[in-house]
Structure 1
Amino acid sequence: MYLENIVFDAVEPRRLGRFWEAALGCERLTDSVDGYETRLTVEGGPVLDLCFQRVPDLSSSEPRLHLDLRGGADQAAETARLLGLGASHLDIGQGDVPWVVLADPEGNPFCVLKDRGAYGDVGPIAALPLDSADPDRDAEFWSWLTGWTPVQGEFRSLSHPSRRGPILELCPEPAPKRTAKNRIHLDIRLESGDRPDAVGAGIAERGGHEIQPGWGELPWRIYADPSGNELCVLPARS
């Protein structure tokens, strides 16, 4: 199993996808009004696809997963570039902090960080902070699911075995997960030899559970991690 996708719900997938493609320097995969995909390849590290799927309305729930971007050598210049692409400043009560909080064209918050040694080889996405009711427990859950391994950080953190690419940070949640679906979630891809039922059993053993949204038969399965954050498990590629 491996982490394959960062998935955004979007009212206008093409508009949002093109913003993030330009922001991160990704390679376009698919382009339609109903779905947009673009690929981030971290040299020597993971390949992550950013997928934008059409929804009629965006969830009003507080974001539990967001992107932290590297500010590079000049945080102010990078912030200006992102504003020029369609981002906007966002006040979430952050106060005086060393990062800049922005919103993408559909209001999803993200941060632009100052350059730090911990993010030296991560690529344009420095971190994927995910709210967690129990970071120790959830770090073990996501490590088993993705194959990513612990690294030192402010929070319980996981990194691709190459030590390149974004860091998955399990952050203490400010409030328990509500019933509304997260706007952004992660997809896991099975590999040849992974058995879907066994993976589902492993998720349940580690505190997650399967979600049955009533959308008919799908080629993937939908789960929640132990803190309630949605994720999808995709079948192995033929």
Structure 2
Amino acid sequence: MELENVAIDACDPGLLGAFWEGLLGGTRITDEPDLVETRVVAPGGAALDVCVPRVPERPPPAPRLHLDLAGGRDQDAVVRQALALGARPLDIGQGDVPWVVLADPEGNPFCVMEEREVYADAGPIAALPLDSTDADRDLAIWRYLSGWVEEPRSPLPALRHPSGCGPLLELCPHPVPKDPGVKNRLHLDTRLAPHEDVDDVVARVLALGGGVVDHPWGDLPWPVLHDASGNEVCVLPART
């Protein structure tokens, strides 16, 4: 398996997809009325697709996953670009911090980060911070689902592509469990390899402390699982 998508639900995929494509410098790979996908490639070839499907619900007030963008020495320029593309400043009570908090055109928070050595080979997306109430179990689940390896330089439990490039998946300690009735507006998708069996994957995630999401979204061609903290993940079928 490999981590393939960060999915951002959107009321208007064309608008939101164009915003993230322009800000991240990605390459559009899907352009449909209900789905826009952009491929973002980091140094070393590690790729992550930003998948923007049409989902009418508005974002919840406190998302459990967001994007941290690489700013570094160009932080001010990245912030100016984001604002020009339709972002707005956002105060979530962050106080005096070295990063800048913004909201995308549909209100999803994201951060433009200051310079950090661990982000040097991240590419446009520095990190994917994910709230976790059980970091040890979540780290094991995401290590299995993503194919990524632990990043020892991160102060938080974190994983990264085996190349050592691309964004970090950071597990951020959070005391409040996720509400199982509220879907994450941002979530991650993983893709099966041709030799992997989806039933085996589901069984392994259950054994590691995750679960299967009982959702009202109709028949999907893939299972929707969750980690030990309740964060959803779609397990996409192998490509033929």
TM-score range, shorter chain: over 0.9
| Structure 2 unaligned spans of 5+ | none
The answer to whether 1:52 aligns with 2:52 is yes
Residue 227 of structure 1 corresponds to: 229
Q: TM-score, normalised by structure 1?
A: 0.96
Do the aligned partners of residues 74 and 41 (structure 1) sit closer, same or farther apart at CA in structure 2, a change above 3 Å counting?
closer
Which residue in the other structure is 1:17 paired with? 17
Work out whether residues 72 and 78 of structure 1, in 8 Å CA contact, stay in contact via their aligned partners in 2.
no
With 91-100 and 36-45 compared, the bigger mean Cα shift is at 36-45
Give the TM-score taking structure 2 as reference length. Answer: 0.96
Partners of 2:127 and 2:168 within 8 A in 1 = yes
Q: Quick one: structure 1 residues 105 and 113, their matched pair in 2 at CA, closer, same or farther if it must change by over 3 Å?
A: same
In the aligned structure 1, how far is the partner of 2:94 from the partner of 2:29?
35
1:161 aligns with 2:162: yes
Shift of 1:233: 0.2
State how 1:47-126 maps to structure 2 within 5 Å: 47-126=47-126
Quote the sequence identity (%): 55
Distance 2:211 2:137 in 1: 15
The residue number in structure 2 matching 1:144 is 144
- The C-alpha deviation readout for 1:32-53, integer Å capped at 9, x for no partner, is 2211111112232321111111
RMSD: 1.2
**What pairs with 1:190-201 in structure 2 (closer than 5 Å)?**
190-201=192-203
Amino acid at match of 1:161: P
Does the CA-based 8 Å contact 1:45-1:160 persist in structure 2?
no
* Stretch moving more, 44-53 or 107-116: 44-53
Give the 3 Å change call, closer, same or farther, for CA 61–207 of structure 1 in structure 2.
farther
- TM-superposed CA distance for 1:106, in Å, is 0.5
* Distance in 1, Cα, partners of 2:186 & 2:61: 11
Q: Which runs of 5+ in 1 are unaligned?
A: none
Distance in 2 of aligned mates of 1:125 and 1:166: 6
Cα distance between partner residues in 1 of 2:113 and 2:52 = 24
C-alpha distance in structure 2 between counterparts of 1:118 and 1:24, whole Å: 19
Counterpart Cα distance in 1 of 2:95 and 2:216? 42
